[in-house]
Each structure stands twice: as C-alpha cells, then as structure tokens.
A and B are shown apart, each in its own frame.
Chain A
Amino acid sequence: DGGITQSPKYLFRKEGQNVTLSCEQNLNHDAMYWYRQDPGQGLRLIYYSQIVNDFQKGDIAEGYSVSREKKESFPLTVTSAQKNPTAFYLCAVAPGTRIPDEQFFGPGTRLTVL
C-alpha cells in the first residue's frame, strides 16, 4: 500500500523529555516537510528537506531537530527546549521536481505534553 505513514497517532510525554515522531513514505518523492498545527490555526512549517542528507529550517524550527539519512524517512525530534510542544504534527511529501509541486500529507501525530 503506497503512501505516507506517521507514527504514533497519539503521543504523550512528560515535560523535559525528548520525543521523536516518525514519518515514512514509499512514494519515492524527494521533498519532505514537517508542519505544526495548533487548534484553530493553519499549518506552520518546522523543517523541510529537498534531498537526502540536507534539510532547512522553516518558520518555527526552534526546539526541534530532524535528520534525513534515507530518502523515505524524515523523523522529527521534539526536544525539551520546545516551550509549548502540545500540537498536531503533520508530515508532507512532494515530488520536488515539477510545478505545481503539490504536497501530500500523512495522517498526523497528536502530541500532548502532560
């Protein structure tokens, strides 16, 4: 089954703990993105990667880190430095090679800090 998977769907953590959100794709797309969504808000870009072993900060990168060691994987770590990590996190992928380069989204992970 092709597509984008994010795990887990729901995640709880205690304050001060780092946590890693998974994003995997088998669409063979080059570009991958992480967004954060807060209640009643649109999506804000955290990090993105256009190619393996390279990534760029988005608009709200502070307190987050990523890696892109494989084309199909783009994990996001929410560190203890992120002051308000409770949110819905969406991963997206795009071909990266055409216009329009529409992004396709995974099902999301809802992170709650207790």
Chain B
Amino acid sequence: AQKITQTQPGMFVQEKEAVTLDCTYDTSDPSYGLFWYKQPSSGEMIFLIYQGSYDQQNATEGRYSLNFQKARKSANLVISASQLGDSAMYFCATWGDYNTDKLIFGTGTRLQVFP
C-alpha cells in the first residue's frame, strides 16, 4: 500500500539558516511523483515543488529544493535562507499506486522559524 512518512512532527530553525524536512515513501509503482505543500495557519495548501521518479536532477524552485534519494526512498525538502514567513505546516504527498488520480499525504511537519 502506498505510504508517506514524515517523522518530524516539529522543527525549529533560525532565520536565514537552511532546514531539511524529511519524507520517506513506499510504493510498488515504478513511476511516481512526489509533491511538497505548505499550509500556513490560514489553512490553504500551497504547492511548492514536484519531483518525478524518472527525473534525473533534483527539483528546485527558488529557495526550495528536493533532495531525492531513490534508493533510500526519500524525498526531503530543503529550504534555504529561512524566513519568518516560512513558519507553517509542510506536507509531503505522492500519487496512489498506479493511480495518478489522487494524492496521499503524510502527517506533516510543523516548521517554526525564529529571529
């Protein structure tokens, strides 16, 4: 069964420092995608970054990058130069096995950035 595991319920980071949020996945589908979403206290889910299983390079979007280690089945999100506005919940997600119609989410990591 498809599963996403986020083992860090909460993380703290100082402003301007980099932080890594962990995500491991389990799938039997050789073709899959991994997504990261940010959820501020307002509740809306904001798409951050996507990594396809066949992508040769790690995905990057501005200050966000994805450390994709296929052999370890991990897709960690790296946020560089943290800002106070990065404080939020972060969710890792992937498609269902052989089913790109739906996303399966992890339980999330709460990131708090302090001055």
Closest to B107 in A: A42
A33 adjacent to B44 (CB under 8 Å)? no
- Would you list which residues of chain A between 5 and 60 have a CB under 8 Å from chain B? 31, 33, 40-45, 48, 50, 56, 58
Task: Bin chain A's interface residue count.
Answer: 20 to 34
How long is the Cα–Cα vector from A105 to B46 in the complex, in angstroms? 7
Main secondary structure of the interface of B (DSSP, over half): strand
Contact residues in B for A110 (Cβ distance below 8 Å): 43
B100 adjacent to A101 (CB under 8 Å)? yes
Contact partner of B44 (CB less than 8 A), chosen from A41, A44, A100, A106, is A106
B91 adjacent to A43 (CB under 8 Å)? yes
Please report B residues at the A interface, Cβ cutoff 8 Å: 4, 9, 33, 35, 37, 42-47, 50, 52, 91, 93, 100-108
A-B CB contact pairs (8 Å), 23 listed: A33-B102, A40-B9, A42-B91, A42-B106, A43-B45, A43-B103, A43-B105, A45-B104, A48-B101, A48-B102, A50-B101, A58-B102, A88-B43, A90-B45, A100-B33, A100-B52, A101-B100, A102-B35, A102-B47, A105-B44, A105-B47, A107-B44, A108-B44
